[in-house]
Amino acid sequence: MDKAREEKAASRVEGSEARAAEQELILAARRGDKNAFGQLIRRHQKRLFRFVYGLVGSFDQTEDIVQEAFVKAYSALDTFEAGRDFYPWLSTIARNKALNMIAGEGRKESLDKIQEQGFDPAAGDLGPLDRLVNDEDQRRFYAALKALPEPYRAVFVLRHFEEMSYEEISGQLKIPTGTVDSRLWRARQLLMEALKDLL
């Protein structure tokens, strides 16, 4: 029990140190230090890429959105509230850009291209859907995800890719937690129906 407490305390200290280091990078970037902003990009690029790809399902569109999100974040750093976590703010910028782009038709692309670029799609525990994300049927999984109506897809991606709580999703999308729950349930049902031959 004592060891578990020690590990938890050590994890909190590491988290606090990482957060403090990130705040320093943000302050330096605000002063025009492009190297500091480059470090912020490296910290969050992979996670942001997975998140946006889950929403749009196109490698090229994802690259464009992620790049635009970082450019917008850099130009809006003065509006960023000091002391807050950087990633939620950045992912909101990217999400808004992705949702604006979703109206257009994106190309369906193989995840092989993503892996060649060094990105590894990941998700939270999806039950029977989980193994699809980790084998050769990833392309089908992402195609099915992309085919979901946007309200369901957004909730699913925020929950399983971003590992947000229902309350965080509710705040991010400005919908009640009950709606989060029902949309998430429906998203899972639609995915399992689309992929039933693989489950």
For the domain that residue 77 is a member of, what is the CATH number? 1.10.1740.10
Confidence label for 8 from pLDDT (cuts 50, 70 and 90): low
Mean pLDDT of the chain: 76
Q: How many Å separate Cα 172 from the centre of its chain?
A: 12
CA-CA distance, 9 to 23, in Å (whole number)?
21
For the domain that residue 193 is a member of, what is the CATH number? 1.10.10.10
Q: Which residues form the domain of 77?
A: 1-104
Residues 6+ apart with CB under 8 A from 138: 111, 121, 132
- Model confidence pLDDT, tens digit, residues 98-108: 877 765 443 33
Residues 6+ apart with CB under 8 A from 166: 159, 177, 180, 181
CA-CA distance, 64 to 69, in Å (whole number)?
8
The two structure tokens encoding residue 167: 């309350």
- Is 70 exceeded by the pLDDT of residue 118? no
pTM: 0.62
Question: Using an 8 Å Cβ cutoff, are 29 and 23 in contact?
Answer: no
Query: Minimal CA–CA distance to 113: which of 41, 45, 191, 53?
Result: 53
**Total tally of structural domains belonging to the chain:** 2
Q: What is the pLDDT of residue 116?
A: 46
- Model confidence pLDDT, tens digit, residues 149-183: 888 988 898 888 888 888 888 888 888 999 999 99
Judge if 70 and 127 occupy the same domain: no
